[in-house]
Amino acid sequence: MIFFLQLVVTGFALGMIYALVAIGFVIILKCSNAFNIAQGHFVLIGGYLGYTFLVPFGLPVWASLLLSIGVGIVLGLLIERLTIRPLVGQPELAMIMMTIALATVLEGLATLIWGGEYKTYHGVLPTVTLKIGGISVPPESLIGLIVSVAAVAMLMALFRYTKIGLAMRATAEDLQVVQSVGIRATTVYAVSWVIACVVGVIGGILLGGVSGVMIPLAEIGLKAFAVVLLGGVNSIGGAIVAGIILGMLENVAAGYLDPLLPGGGLAQIFPFVVMIMVLIFRPYGLFGLARIERI
Amino acid sequence: MGLRRGTFHENYAQDMAIIRTRLHWGILFAFLLVLFACPLFLSDRMLTVMTMIGIAIISVHGLNILTGYCGLISIGHVGFMAVGAYTSAILTAKFGVPFWVALPCAALSAGMAGLLFGLPSLKIKGFYLIMATISAHFIIIWLVLHLRDLTGGPDGMAVPKPQIGSIVLTSKGSYFCLVMAMACLATFLAINIVRTRAGRAFVAVRDNDLAAEVMGISLWSYKLQAFFIGCVYAGVAGALLVHYYAFASVDQFPFMDSVWYLGMLIVGGMGSIPGAILGAVSLKLLDELVTVVGPILSKAVAAQAAASLALIARGLVIILFLIFEPRGLAHRWGMIRAYFRLWPFSHEELE
């Protein structure tokens, strides 16, 4: 029982980080109808940025976090202006291919700048130890959990109480209506990409603290897609719930099934099996809105 | 006799002909002659490059029918190539089946895998389908890695060189001819598939699937047909790939190659047979350029420059094409041709 609970708790903390990455994805999707395949690569860049500011520069944690977020903002603005805006009005595939190409370029840049090597800053981030009964919460995961919850709360507040948040929600509803009442759609796009970038960077710093940074870290993006599909592509709340569910399921499945299978590694394809199942049986996810199409 | 300028079709057969004039027949024969004479005067290195281009062309034709014509975006194409590759590898290496039997089996098994993973496409499209095909890729590769008794898992497996009758294709030249023959066949079939009832149905499904269904096109049947045909092409390409290396391993089927095949379609032009060929040729040549320039750059800048150059060059080409020429090289080529068709004005000069 303790083993099971331990797996659940670890999975919960992991799931919060998945949710954080998935939220960046959902925000872009909601505002500009673009499926951002490069979300995982924002995480990768974030991890490397965290490493750069924390280890070679030796800055304190808060300064590193702020600087990384700053770089994330600039990156988001550049990406939106240079690659996304020329594609407004193009077919869906063009946008998807653009984000895939972006992912490739970002991976190339990460390889060029950081050599694609394994970098770690284990123990640099502050840790909080917590023990409930016999279950210990891994300290790095806990700090991840706290930051994720804070970020999610801030985003929720942004969407609910600010003008730009309202504009973003409106853009998600109907682009033409938004433009006709004088809201600048380009600003909304830019803000959504900046938020996605920043969220990805924060997720990257957290994950880098847990498991180190390496090029395959970008594959977290693929897991975030599974989260997004499970939760429903246009629901932020859904992304959080699904992130936690998937993190737990993955950990529990790996904990119990891996010893039974020769070679193990079930955790790696688990999200994809979930994805196929969701796509076949409930394509719009747990909380997504079914899209009604008209000819 | 008047001098004939322009092409004028006088009956249905002429209108439907793929190759319309004597000049075109002449160009085609000259091209085939030069192509199959290549092993006589090209170096082994060049032949390898061209063999790889041929395999890419076969694969991209499949993806073009699936994505370009039917609008079902697949980023799991390499996974289906792996299915075909391992089918052929296992049949020839473990069961001693001759190559010319194993190749159709490979095509068929890849097609079957395509049908299976194409099932979600009946309910979903766009991004959702992309996710389903990405999942297909990872599940297939996971299976290959874990069915160790059959596939050798991460160690890979040795594959015999193909043998047709009593001829063993060991030399690079002979294998080049096999691949090019298959590529020509693939092109010929692709041109004809897209002109059939099924091909027109694919285009209708791509343009608006609901409208197509209202017109009486069975989405269920045609979407699965598109998946089957596309994956059959992938299976043949995969089988040719592993028989060329005489070795099969999952490293030959990296996920990013699926993306790269889609990139070839973008650069060449979606939904166009010449586009698929142009895209495959130009991006494979870009790859070669990168492998030549990479080491020089590595020495000059940093050790990792070669690896990053490959990634950045690939990404940038796709980005630039999406922004500046979203309809691809085939469109540009068509515009150039149209210009010269109008200049000088085509007319029939009578005596």
Stated length of chain A: 295
Residue B180 has pLDDT above 80, yes or no: yes
Return mean pLDDT, chain B: 87
User: In degrees rounded to 5, what are phi and psi of residue B349?
Assistant: -85, 120
CA distances from B337 to A293, B84, B266, B333 (A): 39, 38, 20, 6
Distance from the Cα of residue A80 to its chain's centroid: 18
Report the alpha-carbon distance of residue B236 to residue B55 in Å, rounded.
Answer: 9
Distance (Å) from the alpha carbon of B304 to chain A's nearest alpha carbon:
6
Distance from the Cα of residue B234 to its chain's centroid: 7
Report the alpha-carbon distance of residue B313 to residue A24 in Å, rounded.
Answer: 27
B309 vs A97: CB contact, 8 Å cut-off? Answer: no
Q: Which residues touch B192 (CB under 8 Å, ≥6 apart)?
A: B18
Measure CA of the first residue to CA of the last residue in chain B; give whole Å: 6
Residue B22 has pLDDT above 80, yes or no: yes
Q: What is the pLDDT of residue B247?
A: 87
B191 pLDDT band, cuts 50/70/90, is: very high
Report the alpha-carbon distance of residue B253 to residue B260 in Å, rounded.
Answer: 12
B134 vs A225: CB contact, 8 Å cut-off? Answer: yes
Q: What is the pLDDT of residue A295?
A: 63
Residue B156 has pLDDT above 90, yes or no: no
Report the alpha-carbon distance of residue A264 to residue A253 in Å, rounded.
Answer: 11
Q: What is the mean pLDDT of residues B204-218?
A: 90
* Of B118, B198, B271, nearest in space to A279 by CA: B118
Alpha helices, DSSP H, located in chain B: 12-16, 22-41, 44-63, 77-94, 99-118, 127-146, 148-151, 172-193, 197-207, 209-214, 219-245, 255-268, 273-300, 305-324, 328-342
Stated length of chain B: 351
B127 vs A92: CB contact, 8 Å cut-off? Answer: yes
Of B135, B303, B326, the CB nearest to A90: B326
Instruction: Classify strands B167-168 and B163-164 as parallel, antiparallel or unpaired.
Output: antiparallel
Report the alpha-carbon distance of residue A159 to residue A164 in Å, rounded.
Answer: 8
CB atoms within 10 A of CB B237: 33
Alpha helices, DSSP H, located in B70-126: 77-94, 99-118
B204 pLDDT band, cuts 50/70/90, is: very high
* Of A56, A81, A52, nearest in space to A67 by CA: A52
CB atoms within 10 A of CB B45: 10
Residues of chain A short of pLDDT 50, as ranges, are none
Alpha helices, DSSP H, located in B301-327: 305-324
Measured between CB atoms, does B326 come within 8 Å of chain A?
yes
Q: Which residues touch A292 (CB under 8 Å, ≥6 apart)?
A: none
Q: Which residues of B touch A93 (CB under 8 A)?
A: 67, 73, 270
Nearest-Å Rg of the Cα atoms of chain B is 22
Q: What is the pLDDT of residue B155?
A: 83
Nearest-Cα residue of chain B relative to residue A29: B127
Report the alpha-carbon distance of residue B161 to residue B171 in Å, rounded.
Answer: 10
* Of B114, B105, B52, B128, nearest in space to B79 by CA: B114
B188 pLDDT band, cuts 50/70/90, is: very high
Residue to substitute from A112, A113, A280, interface B, most B β-carbons within 10 A:
A112
Do residues B281 and B57 touch, judged by C-beta distance below 8 A? yes
B315 vs A272: CB contact, 8 Å cut-off? Answer: no
Looking at this predicted complex, what is its ipTM? 0.81
Report the alpha-carbon distance of residue B57 to residue B183 in Å, rounded.
Answer: 7
Report the alpha-carbon distance of residue B298 to residue A69 in Å, rounded.
Answer: 31
Instruction: Characterize B145-159 residue by residue with b for buried, 16 or more Cβ atoms within 10 angstroms of its Cβ, and e for exposed.
Output: bbeeeebbbeebbeb
Do residues B201 and B222 touch, judged by C-beta distance below 8 A? yes
Q: What is the pLDDT of residue A160?
A: 85
Measured between CB atoms, does B177 come within 8 Å of chain A?
no
Q: pLDDT tens across B222-273, in order?
A: 999 999 999 999 999 999 999 998 888 888 898 888 888 999 999 998 888 9
Report the alpha-carbon distance of residue A92 to residue A29 in Å, rounded.
Answer: 12
Q: What is the pLDDT of residue B79?
A: 94
Do residues B66 and B125 touch, judged by C-beta distance below 8 A? no
Q: What is the pLDDT of residue B350?
A: 56
* Of A91, A267, A253, nearest in space to B73 by CA: A91
Residue to substitute from A100, A227, A250, A268, interface B, most B β-carbons within 10 A:
A100
Measured between CB atoms, does A96 come within 8 Å of chain B?
yes
A262 vs B146: CB contact, 8 Å cut-off? Answer: yes
pTM of the shown model: 0.84
Q: Which residues of A touch B128 (CB under 8 A)?
A: 229, 279, 283
Counting residues of chain B whose pLDDT is more than 90, the rounded percentage is: 40
What torsion do the CA atoms of A243, A249, A254, A257 make, to the nearest 10 degrees?
Answer: -160
Residues 61-120 of B with CB under 8 A from A: 67, 73, 75, 117, 119-120
Task: Please identify, in words, the CATH class of the domain defined by B44-342.
Answer: mainly alpha
More confident residue, B146 or B126: B146
Domain range list for chain A? 2-281
Measured between CB atoms, does A250 come within 8 Å of chain B?
no
Cis peptide preceding A271, ω within 30 of 0: no
Tally C-beta pairs within 8 A across A and B: 137
* Of A277, A51, A23, A47, nearest in space to A159 by CA: A23
Q: Which residues of A touch B259 (CB under 8 A)?
A: 100, 104
Highest mean pLDDT among A186-200, B11-25, B55-69, B237-251: B55-69
Task: Please identify, in words, the CATH class of the domain defined by A2-281.
Answer: mainly alpha
